[in-house]
Structure 1
Amino acid sequence: MTLEIREINTKKELKEFIKFPFELYKGNPYYVTPLIDFEMSTLLREKNPAFDDAEAKYWVVEKDGKIVGRIAAIILEKELKEKKLARFGWIDFIDDKEVSQTLLETAKSWAKSKGAKGIHGPMGFTDLDFEGALISGFDQIATQATIYNYSYYIDHFRAWNMEIAATWVELRGKAPSKNPEKINRAVRIIQERFKVKVKDFKNTKEMVKYASGVFEVLNQAYSGLYGYVSLTQKQIDYYVDQYFGFIRKEFVCIVVNENEEVVGFALTFPSLSKAFQKAKGSLYPFGFIHVLKAFFSNDTADLFLICVKPEYQKLGIHALIFDYLQKVYKKKGIKYMASGPMLEDNKNVLNTWSQFDIDIGKIKRSCFIKQF
């Protein structure tokens, strides 16, 4: 039967686009269903401020009237101008190379029409969107902020003559019951010598005042990392609204200097993976019950972001952050941890984690690239 590629043009069609993986991964214990409303907010031009400097197209492939694949193609003006690259993301497909090649060729054709000379992905509009195809760790449950995909995806990317452009690793393991003595010594010295401290907040509202500083550190710390494009103030405001209204303050560590400027932070959450699986894409009418339960009664934490301002990175600020999290996790009954993606060549961070009883590298994901 002939495949049909169809561009997504309406909100109803966009919901179908978003929900296709729900069926593709039905019954898979490792796939974590995203919230439809969050996905709509990211993909709709009128919702996402990234579209101030970006364009995107979405397509699905149908076979016998049934959706069997989807893809998004994204142009970031800065990336196109500086690197002649476009992006693809939100890519899912059945194990049929004709389907995957149709999707990728469609994205390529549109990217070429915009002046791109290459395309890479899976990536989103920003580093805070889903990125990196899973290449190992297929028997591990995803976090609510990472992609899960079947192992055959990699064969399909390679069949389209794509190469790996960057690889990230993730950690999984037990939350430490105590810190290594090396970190304890560092904490005592750092606070005195460099006049920094972990900020103590009375409530979430007070913490939000430091949110812009958090994202400014993110922009500075990630500026040289693969695929990162600095967030604008409108995007920062968007993410503050999206994330800081959805946190437990004790799971967030913000380090400030003597001028009350943010110099480092850790944004972590109680794991919502299983709650999202039960919610099946929606908080209503009953999904919010699973999320609330996981939010306040959980033995696993997801480490979403850990960043330190570049000029402070060699001063041991990570030790302050790890010390804080270890104490909070122990107090809150957190027994297990899962990190977000970290570039495999980020030796400073990975060397710090190696001091703990943590499995690093069992889960890997890569960004693939094709020049044309």
Structure 2
Amino acid sequence: MSLIIKEVLKEKELNDFIRFPEQLYKHVTNFIPPVRSEEVKTFSQDANPAYEYCDARLWLAIRDNKIVGRIAGIINHRYNSNREEKYARFGWLDFIEDKEVLEKLLHTVEVWATENDIYTVHGPIGFTSFDPSGVLVEGFDEIPTTYAHYNYPYYGKLLEECGYSKDVDWIEFNVKMPESIPDRIQRGAHMVQARYNLHPIRIKNRRHLLKYTGEVFKLINRSYSGLYGFSEISKNQAKQLINANWFILRKAYISLIADENDKLVGFGLAFPSLAKAVKKLNGTTSLRGYMTLFKALNNHKTVDLLLIAVRQDYQSKGVHAMIFNEIAKKFLKNKIEDIETTKELETNLKVNQLWNKLENTRQHKRSRCYIKRLNK
């Protein structure tokens, strides 16, 4: 029963790497298989602009000719460039319930890190903040959002046994959409709007939205610059993100707030929840699958709230309430019943407190990023 770690170098090996979770979680209701063609793009240096500033290697754990685990090692040089302590990341971590398998996978990344003069390893975390990150430690009975990754409960325990400890937690909320926006949120939003001479930008159509995409990504880069694991989004990445999400973008679920000079000070973005529709694809793409997605886009009761960003000079002025007030009007109009927030740092009190102001809110999922400092 010898265990070997094999680097992914061939197309078939990449296919095995991508499809391993489908076998590992084939009996798990809440597992959503990623679309295989999109995963291939993620690990293609030609298709993924993150390779402009990241190095990555992929490995499989194999026992008796059977795949029993996988891991990606990533060095994000842009993230490291502004830090005294240099980090290597591990991501796309999946493994059977066997400490030896995990230990050897992690050791492989650790050796690679030290060969690059890096002595701190953390993860799971991807190339960028838009990749799956964190080990699920709470919420195993909840269906993930479209952009999250499920894992078994044993992951966290075995990571700790391998010498890793908590670095940060991300939390997620389920918010039952009220029949009307609470008065205190409306009053707060109107007060902020009047006090700082702000106004919502009315998006006429998706083409009109393109006028603001440059400002949106500048705002993300500035307001997220201090967030854990974040590295600046390049122009090529911004273009790729727009192209990848254009099909599911709905102008009704975008809230743009501008100052008196029509300069963007904050925005919020939500998508129709596609988790159940993507699960039906079972990792594949077909005309029938796209019809399933199209149906979900036009007939849904749940939205995933992806991003809220506020310009740094407005971050303590209540703009978050104004963003939510504007986007919530659209939720009510479209008869949305549930809001699923995507991962937020547990220390992001401005956003976390916004959800706690609403009734029928529960913090139902928690994911953890682990860290280990290696001996030099």
Q: Same fold (TM over 0.5)?
A: yes
Please name the residue that 1:271 is paired with: 273
For residues 182-214 of structure 1, the C-alpha deviation after alignment (integer angstroms, 9 at most, x for no partner) is 211122222223222221112111112211211
SS at 1:168's partner residue? Answer: strand
Q: Report the residue type matching 2:304 in the other structure.
A: D
Structure-2 separation of matches of 1:92 and 1:304: 25
Which residue number corresponds to residue 42 of structure 1? 42
Match of 2:185 among 183, 189, 197: 183
Deviation of residue 358 (structure 1)? 4.3
Name which of 282, 303, 309 aligns with 1:307.
309
Q: Is the Cα–Cα contact under 8 Å of residues 248 and 272 in structure 2 kept in the other structure?
A: no
Gaps of 5+ in 1: none
2:341 equivalent to 1:349:
no
Q: Which residue identity lines up with residue 43 of structure 1 in the other structure?
A: F
| CA distance 1:144–1:93, shift in 2 (3 Å) | same
Bigger drift between 231-240 and 68-77 goes to 231-240
Could you state the TM-score of these two structures normalised by the residue count of structure 1? 0.96
Letter in 2 for 1:55: D
Q: State the Cα distance separating 1:37 from its structure 2 match.
A: 2.0
TM-score normalised by the chain length of structure 2: 0.95
1:86, CA displacement in angstroms?
0.2
For residue 173 of structure 1, report the CA deviation from its aligned partner: 2.8
Could you tell which deviates more after superposition, 306-315 or 151-160? 306-315
Aligned to 1:237: 239
The 2-side partners of 1:15 and 1:264 are apart by 40
- Deviation above 4 Å: which 4+ runs of structure 1? none
Alpha-carbon distance in structure 1 between the residues aligned to 2:76 and 2:21: 25
Instruction: Please tell me the residue identity of whatever aligns with 2:115.
Output: S
For 1:277 and 1:240, the matched residues in 2 are separated by 23
The equivalent of 1:3 in structure 2 is 3
Q: Distance in 2 between matches of 1:119 and 1:252?
A: 36
Q: Once the two structures are superposed, what CA deviation does each residue of 1:129-161 show, in whole Å capped at 9, x if it has no partner?
A: 111111111110000111211100011100111
- Find the aligned partners of 1:358 and 1:105 in 2 and give their Cα distance: 44
Deviation at 1:243, TM superposition (A): 2.3
Q: Which residue is equivalent to 1:64?
A: 64
| Aligned residue type for 1:234 | N
| CA distance in 1: counterparts of 2:36 and 2:101, whole angstroms | 24
Distance 1:275 1:62 in 2: 32
Distance in 1, Cα, partners of 2:179 & 2:9: 52
Q: When the two structures are aligned, how many residues end up with a matched partner?
A: 372
Q: In structure 2, the residue corresponding to 1:92 is in which secondary structure?
A: strand
Determine the structure 1 residue equivalent to 2:209.
Answer: 207
Task: Confirm or deny: 8 A CA contact 2:175 2:358 kept in the other structure.
Answer: no
Q: How does 1:210-359 map to 2 (within 5 A)?
A: 210-359=212-361
Q: What secondary structure does 2:93 align onto?
A: strand
Q: 1:337 to 1:11 in 2, by over 3 A?
A: same
Q: Aligned to 2:118, what secondary structure does the other structure show?
A: coil
Gap regions ≥5 residues in structure 2: none
Given that 1:57 and 1:73 are in contact with CA atoms closer than 8 Å, whether structure 2 keeps it comes out as yes
What is the CA distance between 1:276 and its match in structure 2?
Answer: 0.7
1:171 to 170, 173, 177: 173
